[in-house]
Amino acid sequence: MADLNEVPVPGPSAQVPPPPDQPGAVLTVQDLFKDFAGLRAVDNVSLQLRTGEILGLIGPNGSGKTTFINLITGLLPKSGGFVVIDQVDTTHFPAAKVARAGLARTFQTIRLFKELTCLENVEAGAVGMGVPRRQAEARAIGLLEEIGLADQAGKRAKSLTFAGQRRLEIARALAAHPKFLLLDEPAAGLNEEETAALLAFLKPLPAAKGIGILIVDHDMHLIMNLCDRIHVLNYGKTIAEGTPAEVRANPEVVGAYLGSAAR
């Protein structure tokens, strides 16, 4: 049996699709798949994300969304396919090298340095990319102001509300100056008012920061009102991709996931 931790190199016939004829960086994922002991969790998924846009990734629980993010960010080895960030093939890069290539992320379960201050948490996102401490501090102060936590800069991260911790984690990711930001269920655990504030915060980010955002979430109001396009997975396979209106009207998506939420 083949070693599932071994990452195969794409054959000579593998061709990286050209980026769209538009300015900005492009994240390209081509024919990505992942096997776990005979189970194919991600099944030949391909997508492209440009800077300046927000792409939603949705699907039922267990459809492979988080596994997909873990694959393209280098946290899991790939069983096949490839990933290209702004014309750099990052297929075999470890997570730290993927981050330096321009990909930052957040997690379903918040991963902050709870005993460090809010300022130190955001600084860490920049310092981890090799930014000098003084410059990292200035960057962190600016981001805390943008997310409305400037007055909490000197407080420990664990003292924030849950919604505040969600925002702080996004700010730390932005401190790395990524080309692409991957958000894994940022609205999980938020109430309706907090989710509305998250939507208002995220919507202008691609234009303001020159980044592309890939967001996974189960809050369909957030997804439908935030995203330019939506990619839908079911059992690890792509079943649809299009505008929110196109996805909402797709019978296969409605049957597999949206149900009454699409009406």
For 228-239, how does the pLDDT look when each residue is reduced to its tens digit (9 = 90+)?
A: 999 999 999 999
pLDDT band at residue 256, thresholds of 50, 70 and 90?
confident
Confidence (pLDDT) at 38: 82
Q: Which domains does the chain have, with CATH numbers?
A: 26-102+178-262 (3.40.50.300), 112-176 (no CATH)
Can you tell me which residue has the tokens 């303001």?
208
* DSSP H or E segment with residue 229: strand 229-234
Can you tell me which residue has the tokens 């061709």?
15
Q: What is the pTM of this model?
A: 0.87
The two most distant CA atoms of the chain are separated, in Å, by 56
For 81-125, how does the pLDDT look when each residue is reduced to its tens digit (9 = 90+)?
A: 999 999 999 999 999 999 999 999 999 899 999 999 999 999 999
